[in-house]
A and B are shown apart, each in its own frame.
Chain A
Amino acid sequence: MRSETKNGRRGVRAGTLLALVVMCLGAWIMVYPYLYAIGGSLKTRAEFSADKESLVPARLRPQRLFAHFTGQEDAEFQRQYKEWPLQRNYVDAIVYGGIGQFLCNSFLYALIITGAGLFFNVLAAYAFARMTFPGRDLLFGMLLSTMMIPSVVTLIPQFLVIQHLGLVDHPLGVMLPGFASAFGIFLLRQFFLNIPGDLESAALLDGCSKWGILWRIVVPLSKPAIITLGLFTFMGAWNAFEWPLVVLSNEDLYPLTVGLALFRDQNGQDWPRVLAASVMGSVPLIALFYAAQRFLIGGISLSGMKAQ
């Protein structure tokens, strides 16, 4: 009996070890493209066209670094350092590639979509959760069913509607469809329903209006849900590609995603610069996500609990 449990334990340990090894391999596969992009963005143009494969640019390899800091490197290398400092591809992408403008546009679009979207969705969710009006359940059902319509069918008519409103090639045309989200209203309504009504009744007795109750009681109590939805909205807006590509033709208005595709076409021979632009395009979202991770995890478990 005892030896059996021992064997069993050893089996478990071996299994854990094997799982760890496989997961680490997987993690390497997940991270490799990012390391490749960062490495490539730090190479000089000449170096990249000669050596596309390696992860670490020549000047960051240990023996080179050692030579650099002990002042033993050859003149040719020193010249390269001078001519093509590490940050050069990044600076070039911003100065000559317009990446700075694209980043600003993306920030503005994502911020405004998130702000306006949260405002309108909170209003609607509150009415669906706390007010009684004719046709409420029917309208809510209609709203939910819009979630099932795949975007490929609505892309063309969405463009026609925006065109009819005279908003083609206008920032508002990019943002307007993002101002309402059936999913967002659904998520917020679920959260509002779980807030005990006593507080609101008390406030109502004290003469607080519904509007006041919403902004002074319900919204502050719903911070986790609102932050989660805000993050998801921001991410969606930042990553959007097909819609801005369709609506915009003025390059000055491009968000980063569309700008990057254009940038690649214009800088096809200069991949270190394209990779630098790509890195700059993904860093803001990754940083935002990890800064807000604890909210997101709370939000996922909250919405996940309701979905089961």
Chain B
Amino acid sequence: MKARSAASRRQDWSAYLYIGPAFGLALLFSFFSMGVSFWTSLHDWDPFAGGGRFVGLDNYRRVLFGTDSVFWIALRNTTLYVGMSLVGMLVTALPLALLCRKARYLQGVFRTLYFLPSITPGVVVALIFYQLYGIWGQLLDNSATALGAIALMGVWSGAGYNMLLFLAGLNEIPNDFYEAARIDGARPMDEFRHITIPMLRNTLVFVMVMTIIGAYQVFASVYVMTQGGPEQSTQVLAFDIFMNAFSMAGQMGYASAAAWLLFLVISVFVVIQMRLLRSRRIYDE
């Protein structure tokens, strides 16, 4: 940093040509798109008929208080799904990582096999589980079990990937800590509570936040397996937004408003994620 040559300190105007394409596209499909989305949410918008009438916050009113709105049902289902995914992830990924280290042998094989779902298209996973759930007692046809079954599939898909993240975190805890604790007569439970968990805090929060943000946007599995049924028990927000925007005429403004409301919910966790990334000094080199 300090020893910069004079050549590199000069302003380099050609840099804009280098960043131009990627930066332009990234901005077009993020901030600019968000602007378009907000604008759409204030209009009675039909992309196929073209044009739109300004309706102010009416779309938001319809989403929140309209008699035909499924927003609250979808929000409840999505939050339930997020909760189940989070609990499912915590009781699988971290214990699996601890067990994988403890097992000593076959670790490479375990990593490989547990990682398989992460490199399988979600649609394929959903199709296979659709059959399996049919065999195991029509889990998807019952409004009491359908959402849980989809969440279970999500946990199955993500467990291996999160296990790898936890393994990476565990490997960074210096062994000295455990040795010192053992000399002091700590039991395994004490080691876990007073060394592993505090030292794993960053990984833990990261995995939890990523799970929450991902689960709030669950779409493909619902689309392939249940289409929101039975009796709206798997009606989730991303699916409701998709259906309103792309399967019904003239509902794009309504769907955009619903998307913004979902964004508000998620943004709480996005802020946590941002803080975490900042604290990991991702912004500087």
Q: Does B274 contact A (CB under 8 A)?
A: yes
Main SS at interface, chain B: helix
A278 and B18: CB pair below 8 A? no
Within 8 A of A (CB), among B3-18: 5, 7-16, 18
Stretch at the interface among B60-68, B80-88, B189-197, B213-221: B213-221
A152 and B241: CB pair below 8 A? yes
* Chain A residues within an 8 Å CB radius of B273: 148
* Chain A residues within an 8 Å CB radius of B186: none
Q: With CB as the reference atom, state the residue of chain A lying closest to B134.
A: A52
A152 and B25: CB pair below 8 A? no
* Chain B residues within an 8 Å CB radius of A159: 47, 245-246
Name B245's contact: one of A16, A19, A156 (CB within 8 Å).
A156
Name A150's contact: one of B7, B114, B270, B285 (CB within 8 Å).
B270
Main SS at interface, chain A: helix
Q: Kindly state the separation between the CA atoms of A159 and B40 in the bound complex, as whole angstroms.
A: 12
**Number of A-B residue pairs having CB atoms within 8 Å of each other in the complex:** 271
A152 and B29: CB pair below 8 A? no
Name A242's contact: one of B131, B242, B285 (CB within 8 Å).
B242
What total of chain B residues lie within 8 Å of the partner, measured CB to CB?
94
Q: Kindly state the separation between the CA atoms of A166 and B179 in the bound complex, as whole angstroms.
A: 65
Q: Does A131 contact B (CB under 8 A)?
A: yes
Question: What is the minimal beta-carbon distance from B71 to any residue of chain A, in angstroms?
Answer: 14
* Chain A residues within an 8 Å CB radius of B27: 142, 146
Given contacts A16-B102, A29-B156, A136-B15, contact A157 B283 (CB under 8 A): no
Q: Does A95 contact B (CB under 8 A)?
A: no
Q: Does A226 contact B (CB under 8 A)?
A: no
Residues of A within 8 A of B (CB): 15-16, 19-20, 22-24, 26-27, 29-31, 33-34, 36-37, 40, 52-53, 120-121, 123-124, 126-128, 130-134, 136, 139, 141-146, 148-161, 163, 176-177, 179-182, 185-186, 190, 193, 197, 201, 204, 210, 235, 238-239, 241-242, 245-246, 256-258, 260-261, 264, 271, 274-275, 278, 281-282, 285-286, 289-290, 300, 304, 307-308
